Amino acid sequence: MNLYIRREASKLWKRLCSEITTEIGLLAENWKYLLAGLLCQYIHGLAARGVHYIHRPGPTLQDSGFFVLPELGQDKGYISETVFTCVFVSFFLWTFHPFIVKSKKIYTVLIWCRVLAFLVACQFLRVITFYSTQLPGPNYHCREGSELARLPKPHNVLEVLLLNFPRGVIYGCGDLIFSSHMIFTLVFVRTYQKYGSKRFIKLLGWVIAILQSLLIIASRKHYTVDVVVAWYTVNLVVFFLDNKLPELPDRTMVLLPVISKDRTKEENPKLLNGNSVDPADWRPRAQVNGKDSSGGHTDNNTNGA
């Protein structure tokens, strides 16, 4: 038993070291994109902080979602935040699964470059919308009479730049028209839909996204229009960018020689003797039951192989 554990631990360690080496190489090539994406996340937070200074509380707008969905109440606002935290943490951990899981389809660095590109594009549109039109926030701390509904003038620049994290993020007002939580949720769900492997988790992801939408409205954190706009805009942005960005390399592809029928008899002895064929003939092909999709067959009954 101890021997088996040591052997498996050794395999895991070798796999981890190999993956770290690969990801470091990708990080050296793509660190600029990751840094730019993280910087844009900060700029988005800075914009949301800035619009809070110009927020003016007022009567809550008429909203059909508020009439249909029962109000959870101020003391149950943590429910939607808990659901979002679970989605965020789960997706974050999944992007690092290639370091420990044997069957892997993605590279961590490349998948985050893609995800950050989606987030930046959606958040750029979000910033434009809530600076174009300021609406009275429906959240409890954004209503008239609340001390947090309007921020006093900052005493210095650092007060704005530091964002008062995390309190300034949780108790923000004025960043409406889009739901920030739905941007992250939908980007994560769509990314797993394409690059994930578990069908049940894909279905569960969409169910959670719908549940998150309803919880946001029931918690009165956003108007229904904020959630609706996020649903169709995020999907359109991701669809458009996904077609424009270069496709991620598929780690499950196996390089097998493609041999035409006319060259099968000529090349098979070379392969059996350990000689390679022309490199130009190597292409990614799928292998099924000992046969390649090009029509060539592997002879399993050769003598003296």
Q: 3-state secondary structure string, 149-212?
A: CCCCCCCCHHHHHCCCCCHHHHCCCCCCCCCHHHHHHHHHHHHHHHHCCCHHHHHHHHHHHHHH
The b/e string for 83-102 (b: 16+ C-beta within 10 A; e otherwise) is bbeebeeebeebbeebbeee
Identify the active-site residue in 55, 175, 226, 292.
Answer: 226
Query: What pLDDT was estimated at residue 300?
Result: 45
Query: What pLDDT was estimated at residue 192?
Result: 94
Q: Is residue 63 annotated as part of the catalytic site, yes or no?
A: no
Provide CB contacts within 8 A for 50, sequence distance 6+: 160
Provide CB contacts within 8 A for 72, sequence distance 6+: 79, 215, 218, 219, 220
Query: What pLDDT was estimated at residue 19?
Result: 84
Q: Is residue 181 annotated as part of the catalytic site, yes or no?
A: yes
Identify the active-site residue in 44, 52, 55, 222.
Answer: 222
Question: Which segments in the chain show pLDDT lower than 50?
Answer: 254-265, 267-274, 276-277, 279-305
Query: What pLDDT was estimated at residue 92?
Result: 95
Identify the active-site residue in 181, 242, 262, 292.
Answer: 181
